[in-house]
Amino acid sequence: MTNTIAVFLGALILAGLAIDYAVADFAGTIFLTRKLLVLIEWMAFWR
């Protein structure tokens, strides 16, 4: 991964977070974080 691609992806993620904050007060981010935590716990069970 080049530096240009890394900066672009980082800016894209930050823009997505900013839009989520402006539109839905981080509702989408909180939802995805909770689902990710459930997935991590489920995968740890099968380890």
State yes or no: pLDDT of 41 exceeds 80: yes
Express each pLDDT in 6-40 by its tens digit.
Answer: 999 999 999 999 999 999 999 999 999 999 999 99
State yes or no: pLDDT of 47 exceeds 80: no
The pLDDT, as a whole number, for residue 36 is: 97
Count of domains in the chain?
Answer: 1
Q: Which domain holds residue 19?
A: 3-45
With helix as H, strand as E and coil as C, how does 1-47 read?
CCHHHHHHHHHHHHHHHHHHHHHHCCHHHHHHHHHHHHHHHHHHHCC
